[in-house]
Amino acid sequence: MASHFFFLCLLVFFFFFFSSSSFVSATSSSQDTKETSEHKYPFIRRASTFSSSSSSSSSSSPSYGGKSSTSSGGYDYIIIGGGTAGCPLATTLSQHFNVLLLERGGVPFDNFNVSYMQNFHISLADNSSNSAAQLFISTDGVFNSRAKVLGGGTCINAGFYTRASSSYVKRAGWDPKLVNESYPWVEKQIVQRPKLAPWQKAVRDALLDVGVSPFNGFTFDHKYGTKVGGTIFEENGRRHTAAELLASANPLNLDVLIHATVQKITFNTTGKRPKAVGVIFKDENGKQHEAFLSKRRGSEMIVSSGAIGSPQLLLLSGIGPKQDLKKLNIPLIYDNKYVGEGMQDNPMNTIFVPLKNHVEQSLIQTVGITKKGVYIEASSGFGQAEDSIHCHHGLASAEIGQLSTVPPKRRTQEAIQAYKDRKQDLPFEAFKGGFILEKIAAPKSKGQLKLIDTNVDNNPAVTFNYFSHPQDLRRCVEGIQIMESLIKSAHFMNNTGCDEETTQKLLNMSVKANINLIPKQTNDTKSLEQFCKDTVITIWHYHGGCHVGKVVNHDYRVLGVDRLRVIDGSTFRISPGTNPQATVMMMGRYMGIKILKGRLGRGAKIV
């Protein structure tokens, strides 16, 4: 009956979204001000404090309370997106040039949903207007999230920190010496060595038992075998984020606007090639503003809005497939059919392992890196109270969220009640346990991103085409087989509460579990291939849409236009390492140094 554990993916979605009975509301305007002053980031202000010049000339100077706008007019760099790449990039560039960083969300500081590991799932469940996470559902029917906060994905992720492999660095064409200087710059400021939780130890030992070896101990490096990686969580559970890297910035050269939603990039089209000159953005009150680049040689617009936001913004600004833009009446700046193409998400499938006793909360600390192209990770302890699985979180709740894409006329009370009844049948002991997760590395399946409308606040249509390539499906099955071996190991058998009756009850319900919106094709527990398709969820490592060689060149300059780059995970063809956040932060620092040395000379002093 052990093979039936493969169906214990039940309630993964609850684990990430619905396990707590309440969440802390996003901070108010006065709290934003208090937080930024308390944390000594005087350059962070609300977008409504920005006052644009009435002139549309690119030589106009922003009238703003900060000190970074130059007397010659405009900013040397405008960075769109204060996320995982944008924060280290802005910090680095501010050492020698004036920088405007625009972030559509608020600040993470002292937001308890963001700041503490125990609220990880609550932060994702928060669907308020000021939430740090924005729910989106791919056309495949898989629930997902994109960050909407200063610090980006580092504010809402599971915290695991691990570098890309040396072969990845080589394929990317990066300078290994500079890469190995840029990672430590991040690590010294926000990365910790974790105190290994009991569940993580059990998974570590079980991985070694089943042959995922050698044991590489604690390391940031990407190595085959089993290892313990870094974390951005302190021992007490407090989260560090990329936003804290801004503390290393030159405060005289940096303006950071929060709640600044960029609607489009503006171009001068009178020359041979379109040239980026500014941005139009709206503040938290909906008022529009325009900021401009300086006329100084080398000034640039840099998009760091993530794998969803960056291709979306290029399209809204007129860079993309001509016919698609024409349908939405978007003026064409440059016809590029590859914008939004090559979208990929690493599929995840999971097994929930009920335990006899309470288990300490933990997010990703241990990982098994196999040569089969599958990574095994684990988390535990997020079932907090007997009534927590019955809570209501509005549109993203267990009752309603699963039906959120169903037309209202079909969203019947009977359907909602049936869903609630299935939840209530789940034995409470199932929540005293942990998850074993498998991620498919470098999936072959690809999709695309398309605009639905011209409202930047709305999610575009994103398709990942999970398991459309047979190799991905084979890897998923191999990963499930590894997880089956883990569960059979002595490290689990003596601690689980899964007797034959409990296991069978979970199995019977798992085929009806609404962890995604994908129609279930079979109840055949022997079909691991179908199980992979039916129970796929995300691990939030989506990437692509602005690939190198297709949308940007090897210096990340956007093809066909001047003074515009994209620097973030949308340029990746493969998600680096077992988890990408380390490499995305490194990339921000790395490219900041590259840009500075390009303008100032290789001997420029950069700290």
Over the stretch 279-338, which tens digit does the pLDDT of each residue have?
A: 999 999 999 999 999 999 999 999 999 999 999 999 999 999 999 999 999 999 999 999
User: Which residue stretches of 191-255 are H helix?
Assistant: 198-209
- From the candidates 541, 543, 547, 554, which is the catalytic residue? 541
User: Would you list the DSSP string of 489-537?
Assistant: SHHHHTTB---HHHHHHHHHHHTT--SSSPPP----TT-HHHHHHHT-E
Q: Give me the pLDDT at residue 417, please.
A: 60
DSSP 8-state code for residue 57 = -
Amino acid present at 267? F
Structure tokens at 314: 């290029």
- Asked if residue 239 belongs to a known ligand binding site, the reply is no
pTM of structure: 0.88
- Asked if residue 566 belongs to a known ligand binding site, the reply is no
Structure tokens at 369: 């890196």
Q: Could you read off the pLDDT of 410-434 as tens digits, one per residue?
A: 445 665 566 555 555 544 444 567 8
- Asked if residue 107 belongs to a known ligand binding site, the reply is no
- Asked if residue 581 belongs to a known ligand binding site, the reply is yes
DSSP 8-state code for residue 289 = E
Q: Is 541 one of the annotated active-site residues of the chain?
A: yes
- For the cut 70, the answer to whether the pLDDT of residue 603 exceeds it is yes
Residue 47 contacts residue 257 (beta carbons within 8 Å): yes
Cβ-based neighbours of 297, under 8 Å, separated by 6 or more: none
Contacts for 593-596 with beta carbons within 8 Å, 24 or more apart? 593/92, 593/178, 593/181, 593/182, 594/178, 594/555, 595/93, 595/300, 596/92, 596/93, 596/95, 596/96, 596/97
Q: Give me the pLDDT at residue 24, please.
A: 41
Structure tokens at 245: 């890297």
Closest CA to 291 of 82, 56, 96: 56
Highest mean pLDDT among 16-25, 340-349, 502-511: 340-349
Q: Give me the pLDDT at residue 171, please.
A: 97
Residue 228 contacts residue 194 (beta carbons within 8 Å): yes
- Asked if residue 103 belongs to a known ligand binding site, the reply is yes
- Asked if residue 262 belongs to a known ligand binding site, the reply is yes
Structure tokens at 452: 């639905």
The DSSP bridge partners found for residue 135 are: 145
Structure tokens at 470: 């047979």
* Residues 313, 458: Cα–Cα separation, whole Å: 12
The torsion of the CA quartet 191, 37, 45, 283, rounded to 10 degrees, works out to 90
Tell me how far apart the terminal alpha carbons of the chain are, to the nearest angstrom: 59
Total number of residues shown for the chain: 607
Amino acid present at 404? S
Between 18 and 186, name the one with better pLDDT: 186
Strand 334-335 with 215-218, pairing: unpaired
Range in 145-149, 352-356, 506-510 the model is least confident about: 506-510
- Asked if residue 185 belongs to a known ligand binding site, the reply is no
- Asked if residue 149 belongs to a known ligand binding site, the reply is yes
- Asked if residue 171 belongs to a known ligand binding site, the reply is no
